[in-house]
Amino acid sequence: MAVFSLFGWHSAARAANIEKMAPTFWWAGMKNPELQILLYGKDIASSDVTISSQDVILKEVVKQANPNYLLLYVDLSEAAPQTFNIVLKKGKKTTTVPYELKQRTRKGEDIEGFTAQDVLYLIMPDRFANGDPSNDVVEGMLENKVDRNEQYARHGGDLKGIEDHLDYIADLGVTAIWLNPTQENDMPDGSYHGYAITDYYQIDRRFGNNGEFKQLVDKAHAKGLKVVMDMIFNHCGSENYLFKDRPSDDWFNFKSHFVPTSYKTASVQDIHAADYERKIATDGWFTQVMPDLNQRNRHVARYLIQSSIWWIEFAGINGIRQDTHPYADFDFMAEWCKEVLEEYPNFNIVGETWLNSNVLVSFWQKDSKLAAPRNSNLPTVMDFPLQGLMNKAFDEETTDWAGGLYWLYDYITQDLVYANPMNLLTFLDNHDTSRFYTWEEQTKNITRYKQALLYLLTTRGIPQIYYGTEILMPGDKGEGDGTLRRDFPGGWTGDKTNCFTREGRTKLQNEAFDYTRKLLNWRKGNEAVGKGTLKHFSIANGTYVYERKYGNQSAVIIMNGTDKPQELDLTPYKEILPKAQATDVLSGKTINLKGKLSLKQRESLLLCF
């Protein structure tokens, strides 16, 4: 057992070796004055604890079934920034552990969350770019190789690789990056994706360190990019010390024994669900190596909540994406969202609500009438149903009553189910789904992409784009999740092609890239789509027409969802066409809006007023 090296105290008569302390530091002046300090070390529980401070009050010292833990609860209501000592006494032996309460560098209100004015760019750090080959393999970690030919192995991507390409990302026109989890995943294999956390307070050393993470956030901010951090409260990795040498068996569901989840989280909202169905969905484990945390244990709850506050305060991130949101305890998650938003009122949290209908997804959004009187307090939910529809809408022929764009219109007509439809995360694909183009062959139909992207960036919601989409990267979930997370070409020294540059992209890729860049940069700062209302018309002549409007600014989208030319009578659309002509942002042409409008097959117009 290694001595906790951050402190460097040297006493021959040490009472306790402290291997882990969480959090390693905190701040004075937080809205919630309570702090849990978890101490982990061999037989530490047999020590008596005192604190050397006038204004930090030790309220409670809690022992667990496992003598290697002590949980301290301190009251910081009156505490100034300082370093105090936690003093552990065992007989005549004393160990002194310095604990720092930092000065806050900003107010909670100053942290700006992501909104519908943003577009998120989702990056899997292991697969985007390898900026530092020296950290590819870290001695002492359990998975000690990289293999870019193996889809489930680590490939060596890291934070430095992302930092090196911030200009590329900012130039593309997105305004935020969402990183798949970056915290430590010291697992024997298959943890390149980051969803098996082994230390909630450490960046995985294959990606960098905590300081480098903060530096990435600062540099992103300087380029106008917000940063969204992925977190997982439902489960951790089985190599996490909190599981391997757990404080007590009730830190994990089913008394720390593996029972698999059914993955059928609709049961949480199902008014007819059997008790067994609900329990197995939320308390069952995601996998055998991802033990399911029992957030009904108050110590677990406090540990997880504090870890999220710590990252916000430490790094100044702008949002959290919470993994497997419905799999965790509803009341705990609601309390977590409430506490984060009390501390940071302008922050945003998006929960992964992977459910297949708007009724089920809407239940998870803050102020949902369907969940009342319960309230998840979760501001943003993921529009998985729309994602499914968008993946077929641009292939099918649209009619007035079915097919293609009709399904988008039909789905949007049901938005009354959502407490806040503008706060839905919308996306064509992500790291868990087949990519928008499943196979490369399909990319020849680039009109499909152009219509989909236009729709994604102009309908209601907060759009998210998955890295590689802008270069038409395909991916088929049927071939394994690793194939949805391919290396970005050019992210590794020696790559045959470099798609970060115009010269490295094919003609088709450049066409997609240029179109994406143009639309994203048009959307940036556009209040009609970022803040405005959505008004739409039912399908006529296979064409979908809708307006985004904010104040005097509006954008009108006209999209032909058929493989034939259409002649559209504009009379019904007078209320959204205030002028006799307008410029189409996509082609730069002036469009006459009197009488009838001729549209080519699958033609789209983006008109600004």
Q: What residues make contact with Ca ion under the rule CB under 5 A?
A: 130, 132, 135-136, 156, 158
* Rounded least distance, CB 432 to Ca ion, Å: 24
Alpha-carbon 502 to chain mean position: 29
Looking only at the bridges linking them, the beta strands covering 226-231 and 604-608 are unpaired
| Spatial contact of 302 and 344, defined as CB atoms under 8 Å apart | no
Q: How many residues does this entry show for the chain?
A: 609
- Distance of alpha carbon 343 from alpha carbon 110, whole angstroms: 11
> Residue 513 corresponds to which tokens in the numbers above?
């890239």
* Rounded least distance, CB 188 to Ca ion, Å: 19
| Spatial contact of 529 and 523, defined as CB atoms under 8 Å apart | yes
> Residue 606 corresponds to which tokens in the numbers above?
């983006």
Closer Cβ to Ca ion, 130 or 376, answer by number: 130
Closer Cβ to Ca ion, 162 or 340, answer by number: 162
Would you list the DSSP string of 137-150?
A: S-TTSS-----TTS
Closer Cβ to Ca ion, 158 or 283, answer by number: 158
The single residue listed with the structure tokens 């030319």 is: 565
Element (H, E) at 202: strand 199-203
- Distance of alpha carbon 560 from alpha carbon 136, whole angstroms: 48
Closer Cβ to Ca ion, 136 or 164, answer by number: 136
* Residue 11 vs residues 3, 94, 261: alpha-carbon distances, Å: 12, 8, 48
Closer Cβ to Ca ion, 136 or 511, answer by number: 136
- Distance of alpha carbon 319 from alpha carbon 306, whole angstroms: 15
* Rounded least distance, CB 162 to Ca ion, Å: 11
* Residue 163 vs residues 89, 159, 160: alpha-carbon distances, Å: 46, 6, 5
Catalytic residue among 143, 313, 329, 352: 352
* Rounded least distance, CB 153 to Ca ion, Å: 13
- Distance of alpha carbon 201 from alpha carbon 158, whole angstroms: 17
* Rounded least distance, CB 133 to Ca ion, Å: 5
Alpha-carbon 69 to chain mean position: 31
Cis omega (within 30 of 0) on the bond before 260?
no
Closer Cβ to Ca ion, 126 or 313, answer by number: 126
The single residue listed with the structure tokens 């900026």 is: 131
- Distance of alpha carbon 102 from alpha carbon 105, whole angstroms: 9
| Spatial contact of 235 and 286, defined as CB atoms under 8 Å apart | yes
Would you list the DSSP string of 508-577?
A: HHHHHHHHHHHHHHHHTT-HHHHH-EEEE---BTTEEEEEEEETTEEEEEEEE-SSS-EEEE-GGGGGG-
Question: Is 511 a catalytic site residue?
Answer: no
Which residues are paired to 566 by β-bridges?
A: 599
Looking only at the bridges linking them, the beta strands covering 93-102 and 199-203 are unpaired
| Spatial contact of 360 and 325, defined as CB atoms under 8 Å apart | no
Looking only at the bridges linking them, the beta strands covering 348-351 and 380-382 are parallel
Which residues are paired to 87 by β-bridges?
A: 50, 96
The single residue listed with the structure tokens 């980051």 is: 194
Catalytic residue among 323, 429, 470, 487: 323
Cis omega (within 30 of 0) on the bond before 373?
yes
Identify which of 282, 283, 261 has the alpha carbon closest to the alpha carbon of residue 270: 282
| Spatial contact of 599 and 558, defined as CB atoms under 8 Å apart | yes
Question: Is 212 a catalytic site residue?
Answer: no
Element (H, E) at 424: strand 424-427
* Rounded least distance, CB 160 to Ca ion, Å: 7
Closer Cβ to Ca ion, 164 or 245, answer by number: 164
Which positions are annotated as active-site residues?
A: 323, 352
